[in-house]
Amino acid sequence: MWYESSNATKNYTVEDGKLKIWPQRDGNGNFFNRTVDTDGKYYQTYGYFEIEAKLPKGKGTWPAFWLFNHIDSRRPEMDVMEAYAGGAAPWGFTDSSGVSHPQAYAPTVWKGDQEGQLVGSRQYDTGTDLSAGFHKYAVKWEPNKQTYYFDGKEVLTLNVTMGDPMYIMLDLWFGSASGSPDNSTPQGKANSYEVNYVRAWKFK
């Protein structure tokens, strides 16, 4: 992120054709945010944006896929997927070992012309453990409309105009509705936010 320095602790890799980002305590014993983005490298206005991903489990985990830009004081933002494993049901559930699993996620849109300008959101309960397999999260972004999809199924439609070019972000942060990570949060590569692909199509 443009306002946040990078943590030197290695908690990401590309392996078997997949990007993997996992929860990891740093040298000070703290969980830390990890962001991969195309800021300064790739921007697009309108189109179809999709990832195929498997989400991590554990209290405090907050994986996301979003489109964003920081233009002067403006912050247009389209959150295609945010999940909160440690949040109250239906955000997630806790298994017999006390580990939180993600079950719901949310697409959310912020107009960004001023602080807190929320224009639409939905908490979508998928009815499945999102850390158990890969699923597709997508948005079709048109000049006056956005349609959000889970595995090809429409889950949210907004009639809103968002005309700024945006860059793509993938991240594994901690907190918000997922709570604070603790000793029940699995660390290491075996508990990765795994991304099989990120794709961006342009309209003809």
Q: What is the mean pLDDT of residues 21-32?
A: 97
Confidence band, pLDDT 50/70/90 cuts, at residue 1: confident
pLDDT in tens, 90-112: 999 999 999 999 999 999 999 99
pLDDT at 79: 98
Confidence band, pLDDT 50/70/90 cuts, at residue 50: very high
CA distance 134 to 156: 20
pLDDT in tens, 168-189: 999 999 999 999 999 999 999 9
pLDDT in tens, 132-146: 999 999 999 999 999
CA distance 153 to 125: 13
Residue 177's SS3 state is helix
Tokens of 53: 């991903």
Strand partners, 105: 83, 124
pLDDT at 2: 78
Average pLDDT for the chain? 96
Cα torsion through 22, 88, 68, 70, rounded to 10: -100
Confidence band, pLDDT 50/70/90 cuts, at residue 198: very high
- pLDDT higher at 3 or 30: 30
Amino acid letter at 182? D
Q: What is the mean pLDDT of residues 49-62?
A: 98
Q: Which sign does the torsion angle of CA 34, 38, 40, 46 carry?
A: negative
Phi, psi of 197 (to 5 degrees): -160, 160
Confidence band, pLDDT 50/70/90 cuts, at residue 3: confident
CA distance 128 to 126: 5
pLDDT at 4: 84
For every residue of 47-65, which 3-state class applies, written as one string? EEEEEEEECCCCCCEEEEE
pLDDT at 5: 85
- pTM (2 d.p.): 0.96
